[in-house]
Amino acid sequence: MQRSLLRYSAWISLVFLAVSCFSPRITVTGEQPASYDKTLQPGLPEKIIYKATVTLRGQELTGRLMLKKTDDDRYRVAWYSEMGMTYLEGTMDISSEKKTFIIQNIIPALDKKMFLRKFEKSVRQVYNDS
């Protein structure tokens, strides 16, 4: 009964199930920007989309990491899955070494201090290296 609906909808649920089963032990890695829009200021891109993978106890959670510059030189940050699920959103001062990540929205399974600390550090490092 209703299999045709479920064929599609269940795929979405896979992402949530995967996330819900992870522990907060993590490492974060980033790769080359998937897109790169230059701004008038050389070296300060308006928007970057990275391919990002988070590894939690050997299990990988993949997605896209978008950084978008705001008017006050901070960046809005969003990490979301290929299938459209937003893992987290927030704002960050990329140029500062201090903790500046302000979370706007995050799924409960990732709302851990240790994860967020490493995530912020990794985003800053990947950004500075690219």
Partner 1 sequence: MKPIKIYILIVLLPIISFSQPAVDVPVKDPGNLIAQIAYFSRNTTSITAGFIQVKEMSFMEETVTSSGRFYFQKDDKVRWEYTEPFSYAIIVSGDRIRIIDEGKQKDFDAGSGRMFREVSRVMTGMVDGTLLTDGRFAVSWLEAPDYYRAELVPVSGAMKDYLSGIGLKLNKTDHSVDELKMVEKSGDYTIITFNNKKFNATIPPEVFGLD
The number of beta carbons lying within 10 Å of the beta carbon of residue 2 is: 7
**Minimum CB distance to partner 1 smaller for 19 or for 28:** 19
Q: How far is the CB of 106 from partner 1 (least distance, A)?
A: 10
* Three-class secondary structure of residue 32 per DSSP: strand
* Three-class secondary structure of residue 115 per DSSP: helix
Give the span between the Cα atoms of 74 and 103, in whole angstroms. 13
Q: How far is the CB of 42 from partner 1 (least distance, A)?
A: 23
Give the residues lining the site for partner 1 (CB under 8 A): 1-14, 16-22, 34-35, 51, 59-60, 62, 64, 66, 68, 76, 78, 80, 82-86, 89, 104-105, 107-109
* Three-class secondary structure of residue 41 per DSSP: coil
Contact indicator for 121, 113 with CB cutoff of 8 Å:
no
Q: How far is the CB of 35 from partner 1 (least distance, A)?
A: 8
Q: How far is the CB of 50 from partner 1 (least distance, A)?
A: 11
**Minimum CB distance to partner 1 smaller for 68 or for 97:** 68
